Amino acid sequence: MGVNSNRVEDFSSHETSIRIPSTNTISPPMEIHSVCLPPKKTTLQKLKHRLSEIFFPDDPLYRFKNQQWCKKLILALQFLFPILQWGPDYNLKLFRSDIISGLTIASLAIPQGISYAKLANLPPIVGLYSSFVPPLIYSILGSSRHLGVGPVSIASLVMGSMLGEAVSYSQDPILYLELAFTATFFAGLFQASLGLLRLGFIIDFLSKATLVGFMAGAAVIVSLQQLKGLLGIVHFTSKMQFIPVMSSVFNQRDESMRKPKLFWVSAAAPLTSVILSTLIVFCLKSKAHGISIIGHLPKGLNPPSSNMLSFNGPFLAVAIKTGLVTGILSLTEGIAVGRTFAALKNYQVDGNKEMMAIGFMNIAGSCTSCYVTTGSFSRSAVNYNAGAQSAVSNVVMASAVLVTLLFLMPLFYYTPNVILAAIIITAVIGLIDYQAAFRLWKVDKLDFLACSCSFFGVLFISVPLGLAIAVGVSVFKILLHVTRPNTVAMGNIPGTHIYQSLNRYREALRVSSFLILAVESPIYFANSTYLQERILRWIREEEEWIEANNESTLKCIILDMTAVTAIDTSGIDMVCELRKILEKQSLQLVLANPVGSVTEKLHQSKVLESFGLNGLYLTVGEAVADISALWKAQP
């Protein structure tokens, strides 16, 4: 790779070729620096570096470096089971905090579990089962200290709507349950594999904008479904008063983070409503026969359900699809919530490890009569504000649910279904974040478009298709930016070596005989034709302007390549062709500050050679100084 034809410098034979131009018209005299190639690497080294950046950006094994083997073993066990990390330091003071927060989230978890299970068209008891086993598993495997684990509204309603299209629970409850547990198994498998294969970045493609729209659309669907139930009992008006009460309470999701002292209102409201409404129905039971109640719930612990997982039959595709969609949605919520609270307390959660924890928790859940669970936003917020210190609060919650399952189930006999519908509606209405949508509109119109697409797609088409469309719009946004990149004409800020946009900085001045263009995107197949046309149009317009203003003729085009962070073969061909076209018009093309990989590729494809000695500079300033000095020397 012997480089000598140009001012490109090979890092391995490091000899700077500084040249001082004789004269200088624009700025004080300056040295001219060489453009270096990046250090030489073999294809294998490059591949290794690239793969480690793709799959191990956080360098997860850095703790293991320079350690003895027994220390390494302990670190490995701690890596696999975070409980070994914080367990030894655990003390009574922390435990007291965890007991309080654990009991608080249990009071939220019991009514939520029953309601969300109904949202997924599952028997209410499955919701309680799902608040028992998964939190225990998470407390062993999970790395977040504040995540409150249990069923969540989005995954529940998606499961209900997707499975409901294939099978009706009322007609074939056994098949429906089988499908729900199978879907949960696949959700867990998918989540654990994403973590194991370190493909966690896939969930990044569900952008926040997409999720805002998706949640609002899903909330509207669910509310409409549940309203049917509510409207069926309008004659029983006394109960309707709970709705405004609770809607004001539940809508404080965000406020519960801002005003920690009020958190107990949102935490206690559901259980209070359930207790009150159950008491009222119990007292009125002889008079109001029309009220639909939960009825008998079986006592006892989670029964095993591994025999209900079915991996064949005509509904396998539905189960897999539901598993994938609920899996990715619950993963997104769980990871986002974990990260949010970790950032508040300034510790790190490892995304890929969290995925494995959530995945194994769901696989175990699918064998113990649980449906899809994850880190829930509302539970975690309550948990955090109640002073949770570690995953032990999840153990406490699970114990409270255990007691409920073993002894308290008969108490729920008279709980009216309408209160569950109300809990569901208030919970999902809180998902409609119109302020976030408004902010999207204000700051980024294309983000707002993705948000609207997912809202209307979910509302009018279907959950997976709506999501797919929204992800498509988000990806389209990236592609649009690459396909139609910005090009900026730059000028010199007098007295400095700074070159900035002429349009943006009024003090920036055109440099006569030069046209300095910054290309603000990688040069790829998708934009090379556009960029060529656009650059030629810049030149045409510049020449028209020069003619109209009797300025000195254009002689040199400088492309500032700082923001051209990558180039492919089409891009290289474009640069090459552009140079030829400009040469025919007696215009010189100069590249300034190409980044490492671009310099390397231009060098490999022998394009740099054709640029000659005065075709490549480290900065725009040096290019202008050196070339104008040359022109003075040979007029």
Q: Which of residues 537-596 bind a second copy (CB under 8 A)?
A: 537, 540, 562-563, 565-566, 568-570, 572-573, 577, 580-581, 584-585, 595-596
- Provide, rounded to whole angstroms, the least separation between the CB of residue 617 and a second copy: 11
From the list 215-223, 237-245, 397-405, 518-526, the region that binds a second copy by CB under 8 A is: 518-526
Choose among 9, 32, 19: nearest CA to 623: 32
Q: Which of 536, 543, 555, 612 binds a second copy (CB under 8 A)?
A: 536
For residues 414 and 296, what is the distance between their CA atoms, to the nearest angstrom?
A: 9
Report the site for a second copy in 458-517 (rule: CB under 8 A). Answer: 474-475, 477-486, 488, 493, 495-498, 500-501, 503-507
Exposed (0-12), middle (13-18) or buried (19+): which is 207, by Cβ within 10 Å?
A: buried
Closer residue to a second copy, CB minimum distance, 419 or 602: 602
Among 122, 147, 308, 618, binds a second copy (CB under 8 A): 618
Contacts with a second copy, 204-233, as mask; x by CB under 8 A: xx-xxx------------------------
User: In the window 29-48, what residues touch a second copy (CB under 8 A)?
Assistant: 30-31, 33, 36-39, 43, 47
List all residues 6 or more positions away from 127 whose beta carbon is below 8 Å from its beta carbon: 112, 113, 114, 115, 116, 117, 118, 151, 371
The residue from 171, 434, 445, 586 that contacts a second copy (CB under 8 A) is: 445
Q: Using CB under 8 A, which residues numbered 302 to 341 contact a second copy? A: 339
Nearest to 510 by CA among 573, 552, 540: 552
By the rule CB under 8 A, 387 interacts with a second copy = no
Taking Cα atoms as reference points, which of 446, 416, 337 lies closest to residue 383? 337
Q: Establish if 522 lies at the interface with a second copy (CB under 8 A).
A: yes
In which element (H, E) is residue 519 found? strand 514-519
Q: How far is CA 165 from the centre of its chain?
A: 29
CB of 271 to a second copy, least distance (A): 33
Q: Which residues of 448-479 are buried (b: 16+ CB within 10 A; e: fewer)?
A: bbbbbbbbebbbeeebbebbebbbebbeebee
Do the beta carbons of residue 177 and residue 313 sit within 8 Å? no
Sole window of 221-229, 367-375, 458-466, 522-530 interacting with a second copy (rule: CB under 8 A): 522-530
- Per CB under 8 A, does 348 bind a second copy? yes
Minimum Å gap between C-beta 627 and a second copy is 18
SS3 content of the chain, % helix, strand, coil (to 5): 60, 5, 30
Task: Identify whether the C-beta of residue 352 lies closer than 8 Å to the C-beta of residue 213.
Answer: no
Stretch that binds a second copy, among 56-64, 70-78, 106-114, 224-232 (CB under 8 A): 56-64
What distance lies between CA 59 and its chain's CA centroid?
Answer: 20
Q: Which of 79, 263, 524, 617 binds a second copy (CB under 8 A)?
A: 524
How many CB atoms are located within 10 Å of the residue 385 CB? 21
**Number of shown-chain residues binding a second copy (CB under 8 A):** 99
Per-residue x/- marks for a second copy, 58-77, CB under 8 A? xx--x---------------
Residue 528 lies near a second copy (rule: CB under 8 A): yes
User: CB within 8 A of 372, min separation 6: which ones?
Assistant: 151, 155, 156, 159, 183, 184, 187, 326, 327, 330, 362, 365
Q: Is 17 in the site for a second copy (CB under 8 A)?
A: no
Number of H helices, E strands in the chain: 25, 10
CB 506 within 8 A of CB 548: no
306 or 496: CB nearest a second copy: 496
Q: Which stretch binds a second copy (CB under 8 A): 79-87, 110-118, 354-362, 435-443?
A: 435-443
Closer residue to a second copy in complex, CB, 302/521: 521
